[in-house]
Structure 1
Amino acid sequence: MADTIYIVLADDDADDRSFFEEAFNSTQLRYNLKMFNDGEELMNYLKAPDTVLPSIVFLDLNMPRKNGIECLKEIRDDKNLKNLSVAIYSTSSNSEDIHDTFVLGANIYITKPNNFRELVRVLHKVVTVNWQFHTANLNKETFLMTI
């Protein structure tokens, strides 16, 4: 299906993964979601030769084995993955984390909302952006998605 959005989430928190999936079920979008417990699982999946690359990758920053920053660097350094749209999806609102991920080439930074309706709204907005055109005008003011 050409109009199906392929989404990948790497997050070590099972409750956050469940909350994320429930939110997508509420968006009315056609999607295919794959979830991973850590960055190492994610990178093994993305680099597998038979993998259909996702439309967007949601990365938690604080994960075991390989964190979100390490994954972002690896994605941007890989010729087959460097054009993936990457959304940082973290509980951290630390300005250093936001700055570092911006510099490393993430497309957007989302601080995980606690409110379910806000999460649905944010996820819908993020996955329906045409990142190919949006990133041409990427600046720090539009990088951080405020809830």
Structure 2
Amino acid sequence: MHVSLNVILAEDDKDYQDIFNNALEEVNIPTTLTVVSDGYELMKTLRSPDAPNYNIVILDINMPKKNGIECLKEIRKDQTLSNTYSVILTSSQDPIIKESAYQAGANLFLTKPINFHEYVETVRTILTSDWRMNLPIFF
């Protein structure tokens, strides 16, 4: 049986979209990736009747139309989405933003790495985390 994770990435920066996709290929874990460019598009995609059951939602903080924290709060309030494993992947290292993310319901908060090798390991961490858990994971 072929099993694949369904992952949705909400990232407005095309370069980071490409880096994530390239890192995903390096990790070599069967994954179906959906990429959206803003928070509004994310929520629309997640709520679509045609949407697969996403195992992992990866959100940038700073996105147009709706930021990652706003989306995360909506995800946690929505009965059909509330248990979705949600990861904040951002360039911010601000501890206040990190705390806000966890208060909004993030399962995992990671800072975008500087080099590609570290980015590959970050993607591996996201995909191999126990995403069935509802507790925050701190790194």
Structure 2 residue identity aligned to 1:3: V
Question: 1:91-127, CA deviations, whole angstroms, 9 ceiling, x for partnerless residues?
Answer: 0011111001111110000100011111111111221
Q: Distance in 1 between matches of 2:100 and 2:10?
A: 18
Matched, 1:3 2:9: no
Map 1:1-147; keep pairs closer than 5 Å.
Answer: 3-133=3-133, 135-136=134-135, 138=136, 142-143=137-138, 145=139
Which TM-score applies when normalising by structure 1?
Answer: 0.90
Q: Distance in 1 between matches of 2:81 and 2:132?
A: 14
Q: Distance in 1 between matches of 2:119 and 2:33?
A: 16
Q: Distance in 2 between matches of 1:84 and 1:47?
A: 12
Note the residue ranges of structure 1 that are not aligned, 5 or more in a row.
Answer: none
> What RMSD, in angstroms, separates the aligned Cα atoms of the two structures?
1.3
Q: Distance in 1 between matches of 2:94 and 2:2?
A: 37
Which TM-score applies when normalising by structure 2?
Answer: 0.94
Structure 2 residue identity aligned to 1:58: I
User: Conserved in 1, the CA contact under 8 Å of 2:61 and 2:90?
Assistant: yes
Query: Across the two proteins, how many residue pairs are aligned to each other?
Result: 139
Instruction: Calculate percent identity across the aligned residue pairs.
Output: 38
User: Conserved in 1, the CA contact under 8 Å of 2:56 and 2:131?
Assistant: no
